[in-house]
C-alpha cells in the first residue's frame, strides 16, 4: 500500500498549520518545496533542524524535497551552472531532513523535444554523478511546462539515461495538461510504472471544445485519479503519493503556478487542500 503525504506549501508557509492538517488526515509524511517563505534549498541550518525536529515530534517523515532543479533555459550555460548548485544544496538539506529523494525537471519547453533530446541526456550526466556521490536519488518529474511531459516521454528518457540514480516522479495531471493524445491513465502510467519512485497527485478538467486544461478539486476532474490510485494499490506500489493540490477557489496566475512556492502561492491553500484531502479519504474508503 502506498503512503500518503502532502507538499507543505499547498497548505501553508506556517509549519504548525501544516502539521495540524497532516495529523488531522493521518498522513504519513511531508514533501517540502517552500516553508517559512523560503525555498527548500535556501533554508539555513537552524531552520532545517527546526523543521526536522517538529516533523519528527508530529510523527511525520520528510519523504522528499522539491527544489526547482532544471526549471531553467537549456540554452543558458550560466543558468545550468546555477541549478547544479541548487541541486547540491537541495541534496544537503534533504539528507539533513532524512530523505535522499530530490525532485528534478528537464528544462523549460523552448524547443521541440527531438531537437534537445540528446542535450537533456548529456546535461543530466553531471547531476547523476552528484547524486551518486551523495547517495541521493533524482526523482525526475514529467511536467507540461518542461521538455519531458508525458509518461511515455519520461520512460524513454530514463531508459536513455540508464542510471539507477534517476527514477520517475509520475504526475498524471501534468501529463493531462500536456496532451490529449496519451491518456495519463492508463497509457502514461503503464509506460512509466516500472520506474516509479514517487507520485504527485492533483486533478484537472478540459472544457468541451478547448484544449487547455485547468486545475480542479481532487477526484472531480478528468485525470481518473481514483483509477490511478487503485492501480498503484493493485501493482504493489509502496512509496509515497504527495498531494499537490494546485487548485484554488480563485485561480492562481500562470507565472506563480510555473514556479510555485512562497506566501503568494500558499494564500487560500489550506481550505482547498483540506477539501481535496477529504475527497482522497472518500476514494480510499471506496477501495
252 confidence band (pLDDT: 50, 70, 90): confident
Note the pLDDT tens digit of each residue in 18-77. Answer: 999 999 999 999 999 999 999 999 999 999 999 999 999 999 999 999 999 999 999 999
260 confidence band (pLDDT: 50, 70, 90): confident
Distance CA 272, CA 71 (A): 26
pTM (two decimals): 0.96
Q: Where are the domains of the chain?
A: 3-286
Taking phi first (over 0 means left), then psi (-120 to 50 degrees means alpha), and beta for anything else, what does residue 224 get? left
* Burial (CB count <10 Å: 0-12, 13-18, 19+), residue 210: exposed
Distance CA 271, CA 66 (A): 22
Q: How many CB atoms lie within 10 A of CB 243?
A: 23
Note the pLDDT tens digit of each residue in 146-172. Answer: 999 999 999 999 999 999 999 999 999
**Does 3.30.1220.10 match the CATH number of domain 3-286?**
no
The residues near 44 (Cβ < 8 Å, ≥ 6 apart) are: none
Amino acid at each position: 500500500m502506498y503512503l500518503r503525504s502532502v507538499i507543505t506549501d499547498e497548505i501553508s508557509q506556517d509549519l504548525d498549520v501544516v502539521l495540524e492538517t497532516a495529523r488531522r488526515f493521518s498522513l504519513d509524511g511531508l514533501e517540502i518545496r517552500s516553508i517559512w517563505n523560503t525555498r527548500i534549498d535556501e533554508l539555513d541550518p537552524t531552520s532545517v533542524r527546526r523543521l526536522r525536529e517538529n516533523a519528527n515530534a508530529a510523527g511525520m517523515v520528510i519523504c522528499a524535497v522539491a527544489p526547482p532543479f532544471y526549471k531553467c533555459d537549456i540554452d543558458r550555460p550560466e543558468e545550468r551552472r546555477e541549478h547544479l548548485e541548487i541541486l547540491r544544496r537541495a541534496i544537503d538539506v534533504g539528507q539533513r531532513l532524512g530523505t535522499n529523494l530530490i525532485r528534478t525537471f528537464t528544462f523549460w519547453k523552448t524547443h521541440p523535444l527531438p531537437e534537445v533530446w540528446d542535450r537533456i541526456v548529456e546535461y543530466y550526466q553531471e547531476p547523476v554523478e552528484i547524486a551518486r556521490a551523495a547517495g541521493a536519488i533524482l526523482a525526475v518529474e514529467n511536467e507540461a511546462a518542461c521538455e519531458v511531459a508525458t509518461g511515455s516521454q519520461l520512460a524513454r528518457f530514463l531508459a536513455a539515461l540508464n542510471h539507477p540514480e534517476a527514477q520517475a516522479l509520475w504526475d498524471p495531471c501534468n501529463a493531462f495538461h500536456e496532451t490529449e493524445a496519451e491518456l495519463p491513465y492508463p497509457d502514461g502510467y503503464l509506460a512509466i510504472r516500472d520506474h516509479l519512485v514517487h507520485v504527485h497527485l492533483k486533478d484537472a478538467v478540459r472544457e468541451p471544445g478547448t484544449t487547455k486544461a485547468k486545475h480542479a478539486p481532487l477526484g472531480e476532474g478528468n485525470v481518473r485519479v481514483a483509477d490511478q490510485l487503485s492501480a498503484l494499490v493493485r501493482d504493489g506500489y509502496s512509496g509515497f503519493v504527495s498531494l499537490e493540490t494546485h487548485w484554488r477557489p480563485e485561480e492562481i496566475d500562470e507565472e506563480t503556478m510555473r514556479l510555485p512556492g512562497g506566501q503568494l502561492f500558499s494564500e487560500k491553500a489550506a481550505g482547498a487542500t483540506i477539501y481535496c484531502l477529504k475527497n482522497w479519504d472518500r476514494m480510499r474508503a471506496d477501495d
